Amino acid sequence: MKFNEVKDLSVTELKKKRATLSEELFQARIKNSIGQLSNPLEIRDLRRSIAKINTAIVKKVAR
């Protein structure tokens, strides 16, 4: 997910997206601990996407 895709969304949309990504991250961590995750780099991508969303939320609220 690119930051340009995130910065155009509203704060409520960003919070919903963050909640879904957090759930996906939780599921990916569970699968990784069991050994069912095919690509462990997916965890890193999810964390980075959540960080981008958090940055966009802070920028929008600060305005």
Residue ranges making up the domain that contains 20 = 3-62
- Residue 55, both tokens: 């940055």
- Residue 21, both tokens: 């990504």
| Tally of domains within the chain | 1
Q: What is the pLDDT of residues 4-58, one digit of tens each?
A: 889 899 999 999 999 999 999 999 999 999 999 999 999 999 999 999 999 999 9
* pLDDT given for residue 14 in this prediction: 96
Task: Kindly indicate the confidence band of residue 1, based on its pLDDT and cuts at 50, 70 and 90.
Answer: confident
Evaluate if residue 2 carries a pLDDT over 90.
Answer: no
CA dihedral 24, 39, 56, 22 (to 10 degrees): 20
Which pTM does this prediction carry? 0.91
* pLDDT given for residue 10 in this prediction: 94
Q: What is the CATH number of the domain that holds 7?
A: 1.10.287
Residues 6 or more apart whose CB falls under 8 angstroms from that of 22 comprise: 50
